[in-house]
Amino acid sequence: MCADVSRTWLCGGERPSNEQRDLFALAREQIAYNTELLRPGAGFRELTETAFKLPDAFAANRYSVVFHGVGLCDEYPAIYYPEDWQAAGYDGELEANMVLCVESYVGREGGEEGVKLEDQVLITTDGPVTLSNYPFDSRLSD
């Protein structure tokens, strides 16, 4: 069994800044949007091309993959951002009962903070099922 989940927490008792809340909201939006793309038959390149597009200010600091597998062969498949497809992408398609991790890192180029989130998702014929149940930091989504 393999579990792969990422969360970002705000440490200390202070309220989050507007920047921290904005970064967190964008990362949550990316995870939610990309999770909805997961279905049996979806091609790896199709997922690359239809995945959430990070605003330009965050593109340089993006995580290395949009999705990656988790199971007996951790990290297969690795589904890359469009900018990385030529160098690292490969064909394939999702199948029912595969488990993928949906990744997000949101940090401005030259910025001082960032948010890393990741959920583990089961692909089913009825739609994606998020397996991760560890909560997000509720202070960041106030």
Is residue 7 a part of any domain in this protein? no
| Structural domains in the chain (count) | 1
Question: What's the confidence (pLDDT) of residue 4?
Answer: 85
Q: Which domain holds residue 125?
A: 18-137
Is residue 11 a part of any domain in this protein? no
Question: What's the confidence (pLDDT) of residue 85?
Answer: 92
Give the count of beta carbons closer than 10 Å to the beta carbon of residue 67: 24
Choose among 31, 21, 29: nearest CA to 113. 21
Is residue 111 a part of any domain in this protein? yes
Is residue 24 a part of any domain in this protein? yes
Is residue 13 a part of any domain in this protein? no
Q: In terms of DSSP H, where are the helices of the chain?
A: 18-35, 44-50, 56-59, 85-88
Is residue 94 a part of any domain in this protein? yes
Is residue 6 a part of any domain in this protein? no
- CATH classification at residue 61: 3.90.230.10
Give pLDDT tens digits along the chain (142 positions): 678 889 998 888 889 999 999 999 999 999 999 999 999 999 999 999 999 999 999 999 999 999 999 877 668 999 999 999 999 999 999 999 999 999 999 999 999 999 999 999 999 999 999 999 988 888 887 6
Question: What's the confidence (pLDDT) of residue 36?
Answer: 98
Is residue 101 a part of any domain in this protein? yes
Question: What's the confidence (pLDDT) of residue 1?
Answer: 66
pTM for the whole structure: 0.93
Question: What's the confidence (pLDDT) of residue 13?
Answer: 86
Is there a contact between 104 and 85 (Cβ–Cβ < 8 Å)? Answer: no
